[in-house]
């Protein structure tokens, strides 16, 4: 069949467009695969390799009462009655060995069982992920919390509203809407998660510029300029050690032990430029 030069050019153009349309999804998939490949686990699903505990009243590295453990591929915070007949304010944190500054963090957690006897009322179904934290080697023996930014994880009591992925600030402050926020905790706009269901929280941390809390891909809390609180004696000491600098550009990541059993089945990080 004879095809004119004009039609040949049109057919060539149509063919090229079709090829591009087929290529775009492939390119998108390639980009997504590359992004997915950048995620790496901080928790290996087998043991506590890379992590170090600091529990109030105990030396750094002493995992009192086997508080932090791995069972069936899950990182658990647990309180055996022979070691914890009462909680006695033995707040603990499990620190990852490497500090970070610009990254995304993905954590899957759930609360289980009953709160340890003697745990404070506010700690019911309460835990947290600490970011921009201090070096645990500098913590005092009886220090309860590291100076840090806490992404507070809360479970619902069965009825009522109790959001998760909130913000708490032990020894720190942040800025929201160009206003310095000095209150200890700020609620997110997340829904409440009752029961023992798994919940995934993601964080976007960009140095001292911005930190975002996300659930299901939606930002539920955002703030800027995380910084040490000069009203806090320990934080003031930390600022002095870094030349009076209050802004926190990075720091440690840790998981909390606050008297209610909690499990983590995923702790992944994606480093950002």
- Considering the domain architecture, whether residues 220 and 265 belong to the same structural domain is answered as yes
- Considering the domain architecture, whether residues 81 and 2 belong to the same structural domain is answered as no
Structural domains of the chain, count: 2
DSSP element (H, E) containing 36: helix 5-37
- Considering the domain architecture, whether residues 30 and 133 belong to the same structural domain is answered as no
What does each C-alpha distance from 24 to 19, 28, 29, 32, 87 come to in angstroms? 9, 6, 9, 12, 57
User: Token digits for 111?
Assistant: 């609360």
- Considering the domain architecture, whether residues 120 and 9 belong to the same structural domain is answered as no
Q: Could you tell me how many residues make up the chain? A: 273
CA angle 169, 49, 68 (to 5 degrees): 55
Nearest residue to 251 via CA among 170, 109, 136, 166: 136
DSSP element (H, E) containing 12: helix 5-37
Condensed to tens digits (0 to 9), the pLDDT of residues 101-129 reads 999 999 999 999 999 999 999 999 999 99
What does each C-alpha distance from 256 to 33, 140, 209 come to in angstroms? 32, 17, 25
- Considering the domain architecture, whether residues 77 and 9 belong to the same structural domain is answered as no
Sheet holding 185-186, edge to edge: 51-55, 92-96, 252-257, 126-133, 149-154, 166-168, 185-186
**Rounded Cα gap, residues 143 and 124, in angstroms:** 21
Neighbour count for residue 46 (Cβ, 10 Å): 8
- Considering the domain architecture, whether residues 24 and 57 belong to the same structural domain is answered as no
Q: What is the DSSP letter of 174?
A: E
DSSP element (H, E) containing 253: strand 252-257
Q: Identify the band that residue 34 occupies on the pLDDT scale cut at 50, 70 and 90.
A: low
* Residue bearing tokens 């899950």: 74
Residue 43 has pLDDT above 50, yes or no: yes
Q: Are strands 68-71 and 210-215 parallel, antiparallel or unpaired?
A: unpaired
Residue 2 has pLDDT above 50, yes or no: no
Average pLDDT score, the chain: 90
Residue 3 has pLDDT above 80, yes or no: no
Q: Identify the band that residue 273 occupies on the pLDDT scale cut at 50, 70 and 90.
A: confident
Q: Which residues of 209-225 are buried (b: 16+ CB within 10 A; e: fewer)?
A: eebbbbbeeeebbbbeb
What does each C-alpha distance from 217 to 54, 152, 212, 214 come to in angstroms? 32, 18, 11, 6
Residue 271 has pLDDT above 50, yes or no: yes
**Rounded Cα gap, residues 59 and 221, in angstroms:** 35
Phi, psi of 125 (to 5 degrees): 45, 55
- Whether the Cβ atoms of residue 162 and residue 156 lie closer than 8 Å to each other: yes
Three-state DSSP state, 112: coil
- Considering the domain architecture, whether residues 98 and 162 belong to the same structural domain is answered as yes
- Provide the CATH number for the domain around residue 211: 2.60.120.560
Q: Are strands 149-154 and 126-133 parallel, antiparallel or unpaired?
A: antiparallel
Q: Domain limits at 77?
A: 41-271
- Considering the domain architecture, whether residues 33 and 45 belong to the same structural domain is answered as no
- Considering the domain architecture, whether residues 138 and 202 belong to the same structural domain is answered as yes
**Rounded Cα gap, residues 153 and 110, in angstroms:** 9
Condensed to tens digits (0 to 9), the pLDDT of residues 161-198 reads 999 999 999 999 999 999 999 999 999 999 999 999 99
- Considering the domain architecture, whether residues 2 and 120 belong to the same structural domain is answered as no
- Considering the domain architecture, whether residues 49 and 30 belong to the same structural domain is answered as no
Which residues make beta-bridge pairs with 89? Answer: none
The residues near 259 (Cβ < 8 Å, ≥ 6 apart) are 79, 87, 91, 115, 116, 118, 119, 120, 123, 126
- Considering the domain architecture, whether residues 167 and 222 belong to the same structural domain is answered as yes
């Amino acid at each position: 069949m004879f095809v004119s030069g004009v039609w040949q050019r049109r057919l060539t153009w149509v063919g090229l467009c079709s090829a591009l349309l087929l290529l775009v999804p492939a390119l998108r998939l390639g980009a997504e695969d590359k992004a997915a490949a950048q995620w790496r686990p901080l928790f290996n699903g087998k043991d506590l390799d890379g992590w170090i505990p600091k529990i109030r009243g105990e030396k750094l590295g002493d995992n009192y009462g086997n508080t932090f453990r791995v069972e069936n591929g899950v990182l658990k915070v647990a309180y055996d009655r022979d070691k914890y007949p009462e909680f006695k304010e033995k707040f603990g944190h499990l620190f990852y060995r490497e500090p970070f500054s610009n990254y995304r963090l993905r954590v899957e957690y759930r609360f289980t069982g009953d709160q340890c006897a003697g745990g404070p009322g506010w700690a019911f179904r309460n835990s947290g992920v600490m970011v921009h934290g201090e070096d645990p080697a500098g913590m005092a023996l009886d220090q309860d919390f590291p100076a840090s930014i806490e992404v507070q994880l809360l479970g619902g009591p069965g009825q009522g509203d109790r959001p998760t992925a909130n913000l708490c600030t032990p020894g720190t402050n942040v800025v929201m809407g160009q206003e310095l926020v000095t209150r200890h905790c700020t609620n997110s706009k997340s829904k409440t998660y009752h029961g023992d269901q798994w919940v995934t929280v993601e964080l976007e941390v960009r140095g001292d510029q911005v930190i975002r809390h996300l659930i299901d891909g939606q930002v539920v809390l955002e703030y800027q300029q995380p910084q040490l609180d000069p009203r806090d004696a320990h934080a003031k000491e930390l600022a002095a050690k870094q030349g009076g600098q209050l802004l926190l550009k990075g720091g440690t990541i840790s998981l909390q032990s606050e008297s209610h059993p909690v499990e983590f089945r995923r702790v992944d990080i994606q480093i950002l430029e």
